Amino acid sequence: MNETIELLKAHRSIRKYSDKPVSREIVEQVIAAAQMASTSSNVQAYSVVAVTDPERKQKLSQFSGNQAYIVECPVFLVWCADLSRLKNAAQHHFPDSESYEGATENFIVATVDAALAAQTAAIAAESLDLGIVYIGGIRNQIQQVAELLHLPELVYPVFGMCLGYPDQEPGLRPRLPQQAILHWEEYDSAEGEKQVALYDEMMSKYLRDRTGGAKDTPWSRLMAEKLTMPSRLHMKEFLQQRGFKLD
């Protein structure tokens, strides 16, 4: 095994940070690494807003379900899918032509670009002994987040990322068995279901050990509960209002 693979396999979400500051230079190094992530056709359809102001972090925390670690982390990164640059380029070079920057395909490209860059940043950060946790909760009140950060049309916040030096040592959360997600030649639904059953047992034990027996809900039950509860149903309308046609 090599050092990079060991680093990747040691990933843990960090939700408690020391008071050690993260310098602007470190943030710029992390983002420089992120910029080298794969990007579809070199469109680089993402932007990052780095937030360090305590008052602004407090508001972002409130918009995200009052997650305290947004306030406590030294730097909060908001990763945005950004098609505004592409629209500007089209208007500049082909002002008389119709452009399709808001189409569903470009929405997917921008969202994937943001995710690829963010995960590359996460790896870079962890290589510098920093810790991160992704915050999907910024989509809870996404309009307020967009207004707070002055995001233009065709830009939406995909997720946030806390960044700082860890002040905790959480254990590794077990993942699905590889046989559940790696299929050779064709998709094997039967094997997938078998592996989920095995994972349910693994996660039940993990939760019992972690909570002293207070919880042991199987993973598939947790996912079923998640999917049968409405979640952020405002997203489609928000995206359409920001210029994403999703067609």
Query: What is the reported pLDDT for 160?
Result: 98
Q: What is the pLDDT of residues 50-76, one digit of tens each?
A: 999 999 999 999 999 999 999 999 999
Mean pLDDT of the region 82-99: 95
- pLDDT-derived band of residue 149, with 50, 70 and 90 as boundaries? very high
Nearest to 145 by CA among 133, 134, 159: 159
Q: Give tens-digit pLDDT for 193-214.
A: 999 999 999 999 999 999 999 9
Please state the pTM of the whole predicted model.
Answer: 0.95
pLDDT given for residue 124 in this prediction: 98
Average pLDDT over residues 131-138: 98
Q: What is the mean pLDDT of residues 146-172?
A: 97
- Is the predicted pLDDT of residue 247 greater than 90, yes or no? no
In 72-180, beta strands by DSSP E:
75-82, 131-135, 155-164
The residue ranges of every structural domain in the chain are 3-171+230-241, 178-216
- Whole-number Å distance between alpha carbons of 125 and 32: 11
Q: How confident is the model at residue 132 (pLDDT cuts 50, 70, 90)?
A: very high
Overall average pLDDT of the 111-121 stretch: 98
What letter would DSSP give residue 47? E
Task: Report the pLDDT value the prediction gives residue 105, as an integer from 0 to 100.
Answer: 95
What 8-state DSSP symbol labels residue 176? Answer: P
Supply the pLDDT for residue 213. 93
Confidence (pLDDT) at 246: 83
Q: Can you give the pLDDT at residue 137?
A: 98
Cβ neighbours of residue 73 under 8 Å, at least 6 residues apart? 17, 57, 162, 163, 164
Q: What is the pLDDT of residue 238?
A: 96
Q: Which CATH class is domain 3-171+230-241?
A: alpha beta
Cα separation of 153 and 176, whole Å?
Answer: 38
Q: Mean per-residue pLDDT for 120-124?
A: 98
pLDDT surpasses 90 at 1: no
Burial of 95 (0-12, 13-18, 19+ CB in 10 A): exposed
DSSP annotation string for 68-92: HHHHHSSEEEEEEEE-HHHHHHHHH
